[in-house]
Amino acid sequence: MTRTQDSNTGALARPRTTRRERAFVLGGFAVAALCTAWSTAAGAGLEPVAAAWLAAGAWAFLSSLALALRRAIRDGDWSAFRGVEAFDNSDTVDWSTKTGAYAYMRIAEEHERLIRRS
């Protein structure tokens, strides 16, 4: 089977997801919706419905991860795991601890405190 190349990068084009894969991932939500309709029609409590929706979310996460790993191992397509920038919260840490680029704020606060105390 031949694949087309992406004209911009020269890399192999990523195959689209199939309907079967989408149905596999989103099937849990369909089951949860049916459980909700049945529970509402039967007048049963909502506890099983909440559990069904929680299970559907877990199913979607795990099945999506499994399909991405399957595509990566079988086809060598690791694009689902690449190109994601890690969350960098160093600026937030510097702001809250008043260190690094925000060290001047600590000095200004201390200066203000000393002036107000006199």
pLDDT, one tens digit per residue, over 96-107 is 887 778 888 888
pLDDT digits (tens, 9 = 90+) for 9-39: 555 565 678 899 999 999 999 999 999 999 9
How far apart are alpha carbons 102 and 55 in whole angstroms? Answer: 44
pLDDT at 14 (0 to 100): 58
User: Alpha carbon of 39 to those of 54, 67, 76, 93: distances in Å?
Assistant: 16, 31, 44, 47
Q: Which residues, 6+ apart, have CB-to-CB distance to 94 below 8 Å?
A: 100, 101, 102
To the question of pTM greater than 0.95 for the whole model, the response is no
Question: Tell me, what's the pLDDT at 1?
Answer: 46
Which residue in 15, 13, 62, 53 sits closest to 33, CA to CA?
53
- 111/106 Cα distance (integer angstroms): 9
Query: How does pLDDT run across 36-82, given as a tens digit for each residue?
Result: 999 988 887 788 899 999 999 999 999 999 999 998 999 888 888 88
Sign of CA dihedral 3, 5, 10, 13: negative
